[in-house]
Chain A
C-alpha cells in the first residue's frame, strides 16, 4: 500500500510542478519547478521497479540537462522586464484555444490507454539486466546514440561559438565593405 500511496503523491507532485513550470514568468523559477517534476518522475521510476532509470533521470536529466538550461539563462541575463512581458503573453486569449486542443488530445489519449489493464509487474528490472540488453541486442542503437550525441556536441559548439564572436559573418562583411 505504501508504494501506491507514494506513487499517487509523486504523481501529484509531478503534475503540479509541471503545471507551475509551464506557467511561470521567470525562467529560473520554471526551471526549478521542472527539476522538482523530474525528481518526482524519478520517484515513480523507482516505485515501478526501474531503479537504474530513476538514477539516470536524476543524474542526467535533473542534473546535467537542467544545468545547461541554468547556464544559458544566466548567460542571457534576462531581467525583470522579461518577466512582465512573459506575464502579458500568458493571457487567456492566448491559451484558451491551445488549451482546448490539449484537452481534446488528452481525452483521446485517455480513451486509448483505458484498454491497458492490470498492474505493473512485481519484479525489479536491475541495472545488470539493462546493461546486458543494452550491449546485447541494442548495441547498434547505442552506437547511433553516441553519434547523435557527437552531432549534438558539434552543433552546439558551432552555434554557441558565433555568440561569443563579436559580429556575425554578414556584419563582418558589411563592415569590411564600409572600410
Chain B
C-alpha cells in the first residue's frame, strides 16, 4: 500500500502528458474523464492512504529512485509521509478534484479544453510533488513546477495581451522569491551538508544554538521564497493580477495549490525557525501587515475576483501570523479551512461570472439571491466562514490563531489586536460582497443556470466550509506542542464578537442603509485614502517607479550596447586606417614617385648622417 504513494503524484502527471500528446485528437468527454478522473483517483488513493495512516500513525519514507549523485550529495526522488503531508495532500487532491469537476462545466465552451486540463493536472502534480518531497531539492522542483503552471494558467487566454502581462508578472515576481529560496537552500547545504528535511532538523539542532546568525539568515531567505509564493508583502502584487486566468484556476491557486506552498514550506522547516526567534517575529509581522493591508484594499475593490484575491492575501497573512507566533498546527488548520471556504467562494463567484456574461463588477450584479439560490447559499456559507462567524470552519481556525497570538510573549497582545482589526475588516468586506451581489435590485439577468457539475462541488464544499472546523488534523506528532493555557475569558469573548460586529456594520451600511457613509466617503481626504487603498496601497506604482522604470531605462541604455562601443571604436579605427592606406594606394604614378622620393630623401639623410 505505502509503495503506491508515488502514484498519487504521478497519475495526474501522466494524465497531463497524455492530454498534451493527445491534444486535438481526444473528444471532450475523454478529456474530461482523464482530467477529472486522474485527480479523482489521486484523491481516492490519498483517502485510502489517510485511513491507513490514521490507523497506524507512524511517519514513513519511500525512496522511489536516486535522482542524481554527485559525491556524497545524492538527493532521491523520495517521499516523506506524515500528518502534515496527509493534510496537504488531502486538501490538494480533494479540493482539487472538486475544482476539476467544476471546470468541466465552466470551461465547456472553451476551444482549448484539453490544454486547460493538461495544465490543471500538471499543476496538481507539481503541488503534490512539493508537499510529498522528502528533501528540499525535490520540494524545489515542485515549487518551480507550480510556478510554471501558474504562469501557463494565468496566461491561459493568451490572445489578450493583458493576460500575458499578468502571467509574466506572476512568474517574475515569484521568481524573485524563488531566488531567495534557492540561496537559502545553497546556504543550508553548504552549512549542514544535506537537504533532507528530517536530517536537516537534526543537523541544525546539533550545530546551531537558538539565536545564532546562520539559522536566521537561512530562515530569512526561505521566508523570501515563501513570501513570493504565498503573495505576502512585499511580493504580493502578482496575486490580484493573476485573476486574469479562468476562475477555477483562481480557485485552485488560492485554495489548494500555489499560495499555500509558502505556508507549508515554513511549517515544514519549523525546526529551523525555532532556532531563529527573530525570523519568526519577522514572519508574524509580515503576516499581520499583509493581512491588514490586503483587508483595507479589499474593502474598496469593485471587481468580485479582486476582492477575493485580496481576501486570500489577507488570510494567508493570518497563516503567517500563526506560524510566526509558533501556532504551527493552527496555521495549517487555517490553511485547510481556508482552502474549503476560499474554493467555495471562488467557485461560486465563477458560477456567477459564468452565468452573467463574464461580468466582474459587483455593482452591476445585485439581487441574485432568488435567481441563483444554490450559488447564493454557497456564497453565503463561504463568506460566513471567511468572516469567521461562530460554528463555521473559519471560526475555529481563526480563533485558535488569535488566541495563540495573544499568548505570545512581548508583542502578543499587539498582534492579537491587529488580528482583531483584520477580522473586523474581513467580516465587513465579505458581507459587503454578499449584500451588494445578492441583495438589492437586479442589474444584470443571468442567462444560464448552474448544472450538476457545478452544483455538486459547491454543495460538497459548503458542507466542508461549514463543518470543516470539526476535523482534527493529525499533526500533533509533527509540531511541538503549543501551550494549552487558556487566556482570559474576555479575550475569547472579544475574538468571537468582533466578526459579528463586522457583519452588523456591513448590514447597516450595505443592506438596510441605515448607516449612511456618503458624507464621509465623499470627503476629499477619504476620497484620497479610498483611492490609495483601491490601488493596493500604491505598491504597484511604487514598484513601477523603483524597479520597472529604472530597469527599462537601463535596458534602453544597454540596447545601444555601450560596451560594444569600445569594439566598434576599434573597427572604426581600422576602417579609417584602411581608408587612409588605400588612399595611399591611389594607382597614380605621380604619388608613387613622390613617396619614393620622400623615402630617398630620408635614406640619403641617414647615409650622410643628418638624421
Q: Tell me if A97 is interfacial: C-beta within 8 Å of chain B.
A: yes
In the bound complex, what is the Cα–Cα distance between A102 and B608 (angstroms)?
17
The residues of B that contact A105 with a CB separation of less than 8 Å are 597, 600-601, 604
Interface pair B594/A112, CB less than 8 Å apart: no
Interface pair B608/A104, CB less than 8 Å apart: no
**Tally of A interface residues using CB under 8 Å:** 10
In the bound complex, what is the Cα–Cα distance between A108 and B604 (angstroms)?
7
Q: How far is the CB of B604 from chain A (nearest CB, A)?
A: 5
The residues of A that contact B594 with a CB separation of less than 8 Å are 97-98, 101
Q: Tell me if B605 is interfacial: C-beta within 8 Å of chain A.
A: yes
Q: Tell me if A163 is interfacial: C-beta within 8 Å of chain B.
A: no
Interface pair B598/A112, CB less than 8 Å apart: no
Q: Tell me if A71 is interfacial: C-beta within 8 Å of chain B.
A: no
Interface residue SS majority, chain A = helix
Q: Tell me if A111 is interfacial: C-beta within 8 Å of chain B.
A: yes
Interface pair A101/B597, CB less than 8 Å apart: yes
| A residues 154-174 touching B (CB-CB < 8 Å) | none
- Cβ-defined partner of B608 (8 Å) among A97, A101, A112: A112
Interface residue SS majority, chain B = helix
**Chain B residue with minimal CB distance to A104?**
B601
Interface pair A101/B598, CB less than 8 Å apart: yes
The residues of B that contact A109 with a CB separation of less than 8 Å are 604
Interface pair B605/A108, CB less than 8 Å apart: yes
The residues of A that contact B590 with a CB separation of less than 8 Å are 98
The residues of A that contact B605 with a CB separation of less than 8 Å are 108
Q: How far is the CB of A92 from chain B (nearest CB, A)?
A: 15
| B residues 573-611 touching A (CB-CB < 8 Å) | 590, 594, 597-598, 600-601, 604-605, 608, 610
The residues of A that contact B597 with a CB separation of less than 8 Å are 98, 101-102, 105
The residues of B that contact A101 with a CB separation of less than 8 Å are 594, 597-598, 601
In the bound complex, what is the Cα–Cα distance between A108 and B601 (angstroms)?
8
Interface pair B608/A108, CB less than 8 Å apart: yes
In the bound complex, what is the Cα–Cα distance between A97 and B590 (angstroms)?
11
The residues of B that contact A108 with a CB separation of less than 8 Å are 601, 604-605, 608, 610
In the bound complex, what is the Cα–Cα distance between A109 and B590 (angstroms)?
22
Q: How far is the CB of B517 from chain A (nearest CB, A)?
A: 93
Query: What residues make up the interface of B, taking CB atoms closer than 8 Å to A?
Result: 590, 594, 597-598, 600-601, 604-605, 608, 610
Query: What residues make up the interface of A, taking CB atoms closer than 8 Å to B?
Result: 97-98, 101-102, 104-105, 108-109, 111-112
Of the A-B pairs whose beta carbons lie under 8 Å apart in the complex, a sample of 20, sorted by A's number, is A97-B594, A98-B594, A98-B597, A101-B594, A101-B597, A101-B601, A104-B601, A105-B597, A105-B600, A105-B601, A105-B604, A108-B601, A108-B604, A108-B605, A108-B610, A109-B604, A111-B608, A111-B610, A112-B604, A112-B608
Q: A98-B597, A105-B604, A111-B610 are in contact. List 9 more A-B contacts (CB 8 A).
A: A97-B594, A98-B594, A101-B594, A102-B597, A105-B600, A105-B601, A108-B604, A108-B605, A112-B608
